[in-house]
Structure 1
Amino acid sequence: MKHDKPQPMPETDRIRLRHLHEDLDRRLQSLAGNADAVHRSRAHVDAVLDGEASIYGINTGFGALASKRIASDQLAQLQKNLLLSHACGTGDPLPRDITRLMLRLKIHALGLGQSGISIPVFEQLLSLDRHGIVPWVPSRGSVGASGDLAPLAHMALPLIGAGRCWTPDGTGAEPASDALARARLEPVELAAKDGLALINGTQMMAACGAEVLYRAIALLRNADILGAMSLEALQGSSRPFDARIHAIRPHPGQVAVAANIRRLLADSEILESHRDCGKVQDPYSLRCIPQVHGASRDALAHCSEVVERELNSVTDNPLVFDDGDIVSGGNFHGQPLALVLDHAAIALAELASISERRTYLLLAGHDGLPTLLMKDTGINSGFMIPQYTAAALVSENKVLAHPASVDSIPTSLGQEDHVSMGSIGALKLLSVLDNVERVLAVELLTSAQALDFRSPLKPGRGVQLAHRAVRDAVGHADHDYEVGADIETCARLLSERTLIRAVAEEVELD
């Protein structure tokens, strides 16, 4: 039997990772005014309810109970029971911003019109987002294969007035009924297929991956800036960044990083001051910045491509097609995401690993820098202990970078006999990103301190701009002080893209 191939998604409906939040804002505003595809797919579900056929998830049980036919007068209760029984997550809640993104990605996916969600439920989802109501979702409980069942069930409970939501100030949880009442919303009643459409899908994994990779776009540029700052402070050589070297090993990331370093070092007085010093080679953490940073760039580019594709996919089950067919498949399986989430954790961890080595070099007293980056050590420990912090976080990342996707434990009495564990990879990835940002923050703090000792010689223009941005927020240290606050300040400079904006005033980075 010939079936028409679904039409490609219009470009105006696509979510792009680089413009993740802006694209979602635009997309959800569009759906609030025009949900024709949702109406069409729901009409197909309503049509089959009048027939005799057993269709999985519409008039049957779920998972191992798929062969059990459910009477028509019990279909609404079936969907409600589905949410209640699957909302069995545990552990600390997902971060509020991740859960909000998860909710918005679910609305976007349902809005593509292949899920058959009922109109009242879809409109209630839009209302939750419009009123800033964010469900409280325990982080543990998904195996990443039948969709993120437990997290999405908790996310969906507020639709029916059950479960919990974040308080408006984001400091804790409150009953969902209170959040609905404050927004003057009434709970909705689920119809056939609604529960399954809500909890099947990869939105928890996708939200974690999308948020990390969105932030990684800035992190990669920050890493290059920090590498250039440390290189200047350590009087390293610019020769390893010669374009000819990278042209004959033309990995895209490597080429881009080398070009960034060259631009950041342009017009450096520090480089000129030691051009004929006789040093033959720098340590790998300086000399191989393009090769290491570049490999992480290429890995994260691949991960971003897969995650962006997932953001624009329909991942629930069964799927409703425009010809009226309702087909059960496996788009909920998280394996495509599971693999790249593990890959992304490894790529990010390596950025921290090489950064910590540069911090170590900055403290070692080479090339005229004071040991531990303070002149009066003994009574002062200088910047000795921040390197401990970086080392601890790098070591933790080595554990977190162990792949989750190589594991599988069968569920649903063997019906779901291979699962991705992508949700575990997603949670680990969030931790890896936070650790990496703080390892880089330590390098930012120490490289800025080291550059102070090169004055009055000026570094390259890009490095000057970055150094000035740090010094606008954090001062030079002549004696020991409570350094942890400055590490957090430097982490904010990185995550809020302050350094990148400062450099971009005069230097364009890839």
Structure 2
Amino acid sequence: MTARAVVVAHPADLDAAAVRAVAAGATVELDDGLAGRLGATRAEVLAALDGGVPAYGVSTGMGALSDVALAETDRGDHSARLMLARAVGGPPYLDGTETRALLAVRLRTFLAGDAGVSAELCAWLAGLLASDALPAVPRTGSGAAGEIIPLSHAFGHLAGVGRWLTHAPPEAPGPLGPKEGLSLLQGTPVAAALALLRADDVRRLETLWLTTAAAEVGLVGASRDPYRPALARGDDVLAGVLADLAAALPGVTDDAPVRRLQAPVSFRVVGHVHAHLRRAVAALDGAVDRVLDGVGDSPAWLPGGSEGEEDDQDYQGGVFVGTAGFHGLELAAGADTLRVALAHAATVGAARLHRMLDPRTSGLPAQLSADPGPHGGLVAVHKRAVAAVHAVSGWSATPLGAAETSGGQEDVQTFALEALERLRLTVAAAHEVVACELLAVHQARLLAPHLLAEAPAPLAGLLDRLAALLPASTLDRPWGEDLQTLLEAALTAPAVGPDE
């Protein structure tokens, strides 16, 4: 764990970049001024509730039971009881990084004051992060309109139940106050946290993949025509991809000329495939930012005189407002869009790998074998890449969920968490494809070292890392061991956000 602390004086200080840092191990320190503002808002909320202002899920039941008014004797422990019957999940659980990101996003959504929770509850969340006490949160099985199932596991310990991914905190806080249990279950903090991390995964992988493609272009002597900067007219994202590709492309030498006027499609479309990946990542980043800045609590507390509200008499004292902040459509759609882009990139990568094994395209020994016939080369490595692509290629890209739950109160879902689980599995499959491509690049370089002799810095660095990780022999061996080495080597760049 790193000792770095993210100091938060304003909600915006705990932005996406800060959440990434917290997920990686940083702690959170809440400024006294921010804690004071949270305390003042909490006092307003309690005063409204004490004054008899009705509030969904606080003075009433939830879901289909929202018409049931709670007796005063039932309201005291209602916040804790909300967690119990909704904790229906189980393993597999989110990992430690994912859980830390979830806690950070949950904290961020409380800091604007819409939830009306206490400064003490916010401090408790920061304390969980500081002690790395992480609850066990189910990864799958969330068929609700929002995220009440995983969130009831994330915060069930405040009701005296739940499992821990690491260890329990040193001592439990006081009982949850009115509305706090409800607020802990609101919004889309799980999906936002996972979306942020998956976007980072793809951003890192895309950088490695583009350099790998540059190596493949050099090895097969593909024409550079499709990568000319002039072809990005009007498309800044494509222009950026082509510039990065140009920076990694090896030079064309006299003894390694361009082999054909047109390379196979899988080589010619590198720029467009990666540009689409970058656009899809940026779209998911934007969806996460809107969750961090938006109103996710329901009912949300809007104090008197809030920006954009009419200046009427009824509103001056503040009001509880029902919201749709639980509807994670943009996160679900963004995750599926990125997944489709990633699955397509994996398909293209597997196709490039196949062409690398074909001497008609590459000019290299068949199947990248040291001795074609007696040695099989990498033919089965391509089969593994094909299996990885097939495993993730059949899912629907549309987040549809017209399934009624909660007695008809919840009559549509976005299934954002399921979309993000599909994206996670697709990221893993894409890593397998890239590992297969990297192994082929290493083998081809050993068979024909002159082809990448003039590699610029980005590619030269990658080739050096491959040489350090993999055997220098081209003879047949259990290639799966090499692939596992590559998958575990973290060849991707450190995690960075779009503006870092």
Residue of structure 2 in register with 1:399 after alignment:
394
Distance 1:379 1:454 in 2: 19
Change (3 A) 1:419 1:456: closer
Does the Cα contact within 8 Å between 2:207 and 2:493 map onto a contact in 1?
Answer: no
Letter in 2 for 1:444: L
8 Å CA contact 1:352–1:439 kept in 2: the answer is: yes
1:430 deviates by 1.0
Give 1:11 deviation, angstroms: 8.2
Aligned to 1:239: 225
What's the offset of the Cα at 1:476? 2.9
Q: Report the counterpart of residue 467 of structure 2 in structure 1.
A: 471
Could you tell me whether the CA contact under 8 Å between 2:223 and 2:258 is conserved in 1? no
Q: Work out whether 1:304 is the aligned partner of 2:303.
A: no
Moved more, 457-466 or 228-237: 457-466
In the TM superposition, 1:323-362 aligns within 5 A as 323=304, 324-362=318-356
Report the CA distance between 1:289 and its aligned residue.
0.8
Instruction: Report the equivalent of 1:488.
Output: 484
Could you report, residue by residue, the CA deviation over 1:448-482 in whole angstroms, capped at 9, with x for unpaired residues?
A: 21122222351431322221121122223322223
2:267 is matched with which residue: 274, 280, 286?
286
TM-fit CA distance, 1:308: 2.3
Please state how far the C-alpha of 1:56 moved relative to its aligned partner: 1.0
454 and 31 in structure 1: CA distance in 2 versus 1, 3 angstrom threshold:
farther
Equivalent position SS for 1:93: coil
Structure-to-structure mapping, 1:359-370, within 5 angstroms: 359-366=353-360, 367-370=362-365
Q: Please report how far the alpha carbon of residue 91 of structure 1 lies from its aligned counterpart in structure 2 after TM superposition.
A: 4.3
Matching residue of 2:64 = 64
Amino acid at match of 1:167: T
Cα distance in 1 for partners of 2:258, 2:302 equals 70
* CA–CA distance in structure 2, aligned partners of residues 237 and 163 of structure 1: 59
Describe the shift of the 1:362–1:494 C-alpha distance in structure 2 as closer, same or farther (beyond 3 A).
farther
Which 5+ residue runs of structure 2 have no aligned equivalent?
1-8, 305-317
Gaps of 5+ in 1: 1-8, 169-178, 502-509
Q: 1:253 Cα deviation (Å)?
A: 2.7
Partner residue in 2 for 1:205 = 191
What amino acid is the match of 1:45?
V
For these two proteins, the number of residue pairs brought into alignment is 472
Counterpart code for 1:264: A
Structure 1 stretch displaced more, 410-419 or 250-259: 250-259
Q: Distance in 2 between matches of 1:445 and 1:286?
A: 18
In 2, the alpha carbon distance for the partners of 1:444 and 1:33 equals: 52
Q: 1:31 to 1:397 in 2, by over 3 A?
A: farther
SS at match of 1:320: strand
Deviations 1:284-320 (A, max 9, x none): 1111111122122222222222222223333121111
Could you tell me which residue of structure 2 aligns to residue 5 of structure 1?
A: none
Separation in structure 2 between the aligned mates of residue 495 and residue 410 of structure 1, nearest angstrom = 45
Task: Tell me how far apart the structure 1 counterparts of residues 440 and 467 of structure 2 sit (CA, whole Å).
Answer: 12
- 1:155 matched to which residue of 2? 154
- Residue 379 of structure 1: how far off its partner (Å): 3.9
Report the equivalent of 2:308. none
SS at match of 1:406: coil
Which AA in structure 2 matches 1:338? A
TM-score by length of 2: 0.88
Q: Which moved more, 1:340-349 or 1:454-463?
A: 454-463
Query: Aligned equivalents of 1:485 and 1:262: distance in 2?
Result: 32
Residue of structure 2 equivalent to 1:252: 236
Distance in 1 between residues matched to 2:345 and 2:438, nearest whole Å: 13
Aligned to 1:172: none
Aligned match of 1:423 in 417, 424, 441?
417
- Structure 2: distance between partners of 1:303 and 1:372: 38
Give the residue type in structure 2 aligned to 1:389. Answer: R
Q: Secondary structure at the match of 1:163?
A: coil
Alpha-carbon distance in structure 1 between the residues aligned to 2:12 and 2:370: 58
Match of 1:173 in 2: none
Residues 371-410 of structure 1: matches in 2 within 5 Å? Answer: 371-400=366-395, 402-403=396-397, 405-410=399-404
CA distance in 2, matches of 1:11, 1:52: 30
Provide, for residues 30-73 of structure 1, a one-character-per-residue CA deviation record: whole Å limited to 9, x for no partner: 35884233212211221022222321122111111111111223
The one-character-per-residue Cα deviations of 1:378-428 (angstroms, maximum 9, x if unpaired) are 34322121211110111111124x235123212211112222111211111
- Cα 1:244–1:396 change in 2 (3 A) is same
Equivalent residue number for residue 171 of structure 1: none
Secondary structure of 1:80 counterpart: helix
Distance 1:79 1:403 in 2: 37
Match of 2:209 among 190, 209, 223: 223
Distance 2:476 2:158 in 1: 54
Superposed CA deviations along residues 212-252 of structure 1, whole A, max 9, x for unmatched, are 001222122112101101111111122221112222xx333
Provide the C-alpha distance between the structure 1 equivalents of 2:86 and 2:447, rounded to a whole number of angstroms. 60
Alignment of 1:90-169 (within 5 A): 90-143=90-143, 145=145, 147-167=146-166
Which stretch of the first structure deviates more once superposed, 304-313 or 25-34?
25-34
SS at match of 2:175: coil
The 1:276/1:301 distance shift into structure 2, 3 A limit, reads closer
Query: Which range moves more in the overlay, 478-487 or 210-219?
Result: 478-487
Q: CA deviation at 1:486?
A: 2.0
Q: Deviations over 1:164-188 (max 9, x none)?
A: 00135xxxxxxxxxx23xx2x1253
- Could you say if the C-alpha distance between residues 384 and 477 of structure 1 is closer, same or farther in structure 2, counting changes exceeding 3 Å? farther
Local SS of the residue matching 1:139? coil
How high is the TM-score relative to the length of structure 1?
0.86
Amino acid at match of 2:400: V
Structure 1 counterpart SS, 2:30? helix
For the Cα contact (< 8 Å) 2:60–2:66, is it kept in 1? yes
**SS across alignment from 2:474:** coil
Amino acid at match of 2:387: A
Query: Whole-Å Cα distance in 1 between the matches of residues 322 and 426 of structure 2?
Result: 36
CA 1:36 to 1:300, structure 2 compared with 1: closer, same or farther past 3 Å?
Answer: same
